[in-house]
Amino acid sequence: MTRKRTNFKAMDCGQFIAYLNNKSIHYDKFITTTVMGISVVKVNPNHFRMTPRIFDRDTNRQLDSKVELTDIDITKPSLKQFIKLVDKKIKEMSTKGVYHPRRLKPKWDSLKNDKDKLELFTKYMKAPTSSIGFIRLIMVNLPNKTLESILIDYPQYESLIKIEGIRERCIKKFMAYKNGKEYLKSKRIN
């Protein structure tokens, strides 16, 4: 008698979790994002022969296991997670031949306190005009590398910043550019 192998790669999120529950395999599940800002669910079975699986949150389809994740659990927003997110965004913002945050990065790295880092981020978000970095990154169609994209991808952190209508301000900045409008459309924001 031959045993039929289970094809985990063909399963969507619901099927995979149902399989784990059926076999009484414990698992950890949390919501995070990819480096490109796609909201995903990571399911990590507590079993020696099973690997973690990543599913698109909108479609429930399984993504390639090589997709880079931020590994920040966005279900429970905290200041520490937000600062980690901004720190990662500032590091990834540098793009050869397009933009390098020469003033922002040293300032950000010199601050040791999360509260001071939040104040610096708030200062940049309060600016009435778009920054040079924002404009350059938008012009080469890299809106996901801007600081403003954090508030588009993670609206749950808006309450930490304490600026009324901050997300709407960011949306207006994106709406001023063709590539920004396309980015918002891809995020289902009109």
DSSP string, 80-124: HHHHHHHHHHHHHH-BTTTB--TTHHHHHHH--SHHHHHHHHHHH
Beta partners for residue 54, in sequence order: 42, 63
pLDDT, mean of residues 152-176: 87
pLDDT, mean of residues 32-46: 85
Q: Specify the pLDDT at position 1.
A: 57
> For the stretch 109-148, what's the b/e string if a residue is b when 16 or more beta carbons lie within 10 angstroms of its beta carbon?
eeeeeeeebbeebeebbeeeebbebbebbbeeebbbbbbb
The DSSP output letter for 129 is S
Taking the model in full, what pTM does it have? 0.67
Can you say how many angstroms the Cα of residue 174 is from the centroid of all Cα atoms in its chain?
A: 17
The residue with tokens 């796609």 is: 38
Residues across the chain: 190
pLDDT, mean of residues 179-185: 92
Let me know: does 36 contact 88? Beta carbons within 8 Å.
Answer: no
**At 172, phi and psi to the nearest 5?**
-60, -40
Taking only the tens place, the pLDDT of each residue in 102-160 is: 889 999 999 999 999 999 999 988 888 888 999 999 999 999 899 999 988 888 888 88
Q: Specify the pLDDT at position 155.
A: 83
